[in-house]
Amino acid sequence: MRLLAYKYALDPTPRQARYIAGHCAAARRAFNWGLGRVKANLDQRAAERTYGIPEELLTPRLNWSLYTLRKDWNQAKNDEAPWWAEYSKESYSSGLDALARALKNWGASRTGKRNGARVGFPRFKSKRRAVQSCRFTTGTIRCEQRHAVLPRIGRVKLHEHPAKLLDALREGSARIICATIRFERGRWFVSFTVEQSLPELTPTRPDAAVGVDLGIKTLATISEGPPVENPRHYIQAQQKLARLSRRVSRRRGPDRRTGQAASKRWQRANAQRNRVHHRVADQRRDAIHKLTTRLASTYATVVVEDLNVTGMLSNRKLARHIADAGFGDFRRQLEYKAERFGGRVIVADRWFPSSKTCSGCGTVKAKLLLSERDYVCNTCDLIMDRDKNAARNLAALAVAASSAETQNGRGADQKTRITGQVAEKRQPGTASTGKTRTPLPEGAGV
Ligand SMILES: [Zn+2]
């Protein structure tokens, strides 16, 4: 059994859209209420400490578990939000759940129980900037031929036919756990979280390994076959975007300092510009999904480089191209798709000289300029496209990884290191393997 998400765009009526937004606002209200209480309590205790009050006499610490937060909210809601009955109780629950998790993460991070980057104290959700979202876990949640059915909100038209989900539900292999509504890229989406038993799949070439070199000029160079061209939709749309941006800037936009409201003409132009942005993002996501599916369904082993995405994004010249290619998302997708096919993804060490090594004789060059597009070996006279050479070196790592494994007889769930070059992640069912490595920044590719 696996948890999957089926996400569909919604076509709500204007009235429904307002009601859905209301649910998200209700979630935000509960979140901010709870956060305010926790914050006041912590501040109170901090102040008391400065007066030298002993620890055991301080105002007791608030319990911020979801259970307690919900109980307290139910006592306070008549005063805090007299309109609470207008919306599903799930919306308040969803906001408080987000708060409970945020506080838990903050606490765990502060005491060193949580890996990864430091988690800050939760902040109040602003009406303008917060993502509008709300999750339903109980009540009537269904997916029908053309509609999503949600508690209180009722039947909302789906933008597309949910064929795959309906098939799985009809077969009885899937069960809907919860539904989340979210406003993204100018429209409403519903995401059904589904528990589903999936058939065992095998890659079409179970013995083959492939090296993938992610690039800027091309989306990816594969150690065998032609390179995968970059869907440079963003760049193609640049001119269009620049034109639309000029149009936006010529019109009277909102100014919060002076309280000037945006003009109707500005709003129209801004909406046009946003549409281009969204379209580009959708096309990019599509291209990356197709590539990762193809790789995972074909090869048993895929070797990729461990790119320091955050580091590269701070380099402004490269930044746009890298973000465009969606590197971060690429690896995340590859890993979960490989797991489905029983394959594995090997992540080469960040310092593995994939570009500087000759794939013919193994000589490592001391220096290779970024402008040298072809790799020319002085030892064996090999001349090859730079990226192709790198991809081949990565593919060779797969062989090194599996032979080292048979030599020392280590189990599949172990992390293998070959002369400090490979950090291996082996699927399936080894949730613990990858966790020791630096996590990829969430959404780095978007
Ligand atoms: Zn050579």
- Which candidate, 89, 62, 64, 65, places its Cα nearest to that of 77? 89
pLDDT confidence tier of residue 317, bands split at 50, 70 and 90: low
> Of these residues, 305, 306, 329, 339, which one is catalytic?
305
Q: Determine the Cα–Cα distance for residues 123 and 192; give it in Å rounded to an integer.
A: 27
Instruction: Please check whether residues 78 and 207 belong to one and the same domain.
Output: no
The better pLDDT of the pair 232, 236 is held by: 236
Q: Which of 152, 169, 196 is the last residue of a domain?
A: 196
pLDDT confidence tier of residue 396, bands split at 50, 70 and 90: confident
CB atoms within 10 A of CB 182: 18
Instruction: Please check whether residues 188 and 212 belong to one and the same domain.
Output: no
CA atoms within 13 Å, Cβ hemisphere of 259: 0
Mean pLDDT score, 325-350: 85
Residue 175 DSSP symbol: E
Whether pLDDT at 18 is above 80: yes
Instruction: Please check whether residues 410 and 388 belong to one and the same domain.
Output: yes
Instruction: Please check whether residues 162 and 277 belong to one and the same domain.
Output: no
Whether pLDDT at 22 is above 90: yes
Residue 343 lies in a domain: yes
Contact 45, 175 (CB under 8 A): no
Residue 131 lies in a domain: yes
Q: How far is the CA of 387 from the centre of ligand 1 (A)?
A: 15
Q: How far is the CA of 375 from the centre of ligand 1 (A)?
A: 9
Q: Determine the Cα–Cα distance for residues 23 and 152; give it in Å rounded to an integer.
A: 10
Where in the sequence is the domain holding 18, given as residue range(s)? 2-196
What is the length of the chain? 446
Q: Which of these ranges, 90-104, 137-151, 276-290, has the smallest mean pLDDT?
A: 276-290
- Establish whether 387 is a catalytic residue: yes
CB atoms within 10 A of CB 433: 19
Q: How far is the CA of 209 from the centre of ligand 1 (A)?
A: 21
Q: What are phi and psi of 264, to 5 degrees?
A: -60, -40
Instruction: Please check whether residues 239 and 160 belong to one and the same domain.
Output: no
Q: How far is the CA of 312 from the centre of ligand 1 (A)?
A: 29
Distance in Å from the first CA to the final CA of the chain: 29
pLDDT value of residue 124: 97
Q: Determine the Cα–Cα distance for residues 34 and 346; give it in Å rounded to an integer.
A: 43
Whether pLDDT at 332 is above 60: yes
CB atoms within 10 A of CB 90: 24
- Supply angle C-alpha 52, 57, 59, rounded to 5: 100
Instruction: Please check whether residues 278 and 379 belong to one and the same domain.
Output: yes
Collapsing DSSP to helix, strand or coil, 59 comes out as coil
- Establish whether 213 is a catalytic residue: yes
- The pTM (predicted TM-score) of the whole model is 0.74
Contact 136, 179 (CB under 8 A): yes
Q: How far is the CA of 215 from the centre of ligand 1 (A)?
A: 22
Q: Name 138's Cβ contacts closer than 8 Å, sequence gap at least 6.
A: 90, 151
Q: Which of these ranges, 119-133, 238-252, 260-274, 276-290, has the smallest mean pLDDT?
A: 276-290
% pLDDT > 90, the chain: 45
Whether pLDDT at 220 is above 70: yes
Instruction: Please check whether residues 234 and 348 belong to one and the same domain.
Output: yes
Note the pLDDT tens digit of each residue in 47-98: 999 998 888 888 898 999 999 999 999 999 999 999 999 999 999 999 999 9
pLDDT value of residue 267: 93
Q: Name 377's Cβ contacts closer than 8 Å, sequence gap at least 6.
A: 358, 360, 361, 363, 383
pLDDT value of residue 238: 66
% pLDDT > 70, the chain: 83
Residue 237 lies in a domain: yes
Residue 133 DSSP symbol: E
pLDDT value of residue 430: 36
Instruction: Please check whether residues 101 and 79 belong to one and the same domain.
Output: yes
Collapsing DSSP to helix, strand or coil, 366 comes out as coil
**Rounded-to-10 torsion of CA 186, 188, 192, 198:** -40
pLDDT confidence tier of residue 221, bands split at 50, 70 and 90: confident
Omega within 30 of 0 (cis) for the link into 428: yes
- Structurally, how many domains does the chain consist of? 2
Largest CA distance in the chain: 80
Q: Which of 178, 196, 214 is the last residue of a domain?
A: 196
Q: How far is the CA of 206 from the centre of ligand 1 (A)?
A: 29
Q: Which of 196, 215, 241 is the last residue of a domain?
A: 196
> Of these residues, 324, 339, 387, 424, which one is catalytic?
387
Q: Determine the Cα–Cα distance for residues 212 and 393; give it in Å rounded to an integer.
A: 9
Mean pLDDT score, 371-377: 84
Q: Determine the Cα–Cα distance for residues 319 and 317; give it in Å rounded to an integer.
A: 6
Instruction: Please check whether residues 38 and 110 belong to one and the same domain.
Output: yes
Q: Determine the Cα–Cα distance for residues 130 and 24; give it in Å rounded to an integer.
A: 10
365: which 2 tokens?
């060059």
Residue 394 lies in a domain: yes
Residue 258 lies in a domain: no
The better pLDDT of the pair 338, 1 is held by: 338
> Of these residues, 90, 213, 329, 349, which one is catalytic?
213
Q: How far is the CA of 225 from the centre of ligand 1 (A)?
A: 21
Q: What are phi and psi of 150, to 5 degrees?
A: -125, 150
Residue 160 lies in a domain: yes
Note the pLDDT tens digit of each residue in 264-275: 999 999 999 988
Q: How far is the CA of 390 from the centre of ligand 1 (A)?
A: 13
Residue 7 lies in a domain: yes
pLDDT value of residue 270: 93
Instruction: Please check whether residues 303 and 208 belong to one and the same domain.
Output: yes
Residue 256 lies in a domain: no
Q: Which of these ranges, 60-74, 222-236, 266-280, 364-378, has the smallest mean pLDDT?
A: 222-236
pLDDT confidence tier of residue 308, bands split at 50, 70 and 90: low
The better pLDDT of the pair 292, 312 is held by: 292
Instruction: Please check whether residues 70 and 176 belong to one and the same domain.
Output: yes
Collapsing DSSP to helix, strand or coil, 142 comes out as strand
Q: Which of these ranges, 127-141, 377-391, 398-412, 428-442, has the smallest mean pLDDT?
A: 428-442
Q: Regarding beta strands 187-196 and 174-184, do their DSSP bridges make them parallel or antiparallel, or are they unpaired?
A: antiparallel
Instruction: Please check whether residues 342 and 431 belong to one and the same domain.
Output: yes
Q: How far is the CA of 394 from the centre of ligand 1 (A)?
A: 15
Q: Name 173's Cβ contacts closer than 8 Å, sequence gap at least 6.
A: 196, 197, 198
Q: How far is the CA of 77 from the centre of ligand 1 (A)?
A: 73
Q: What are phi and psi of 191, to 5 degrees?
A: -120, 115
Helix residue ranges, H only, 225-381: 233-236, 238-250, 264-298, 309-313, 316-325, 327-340
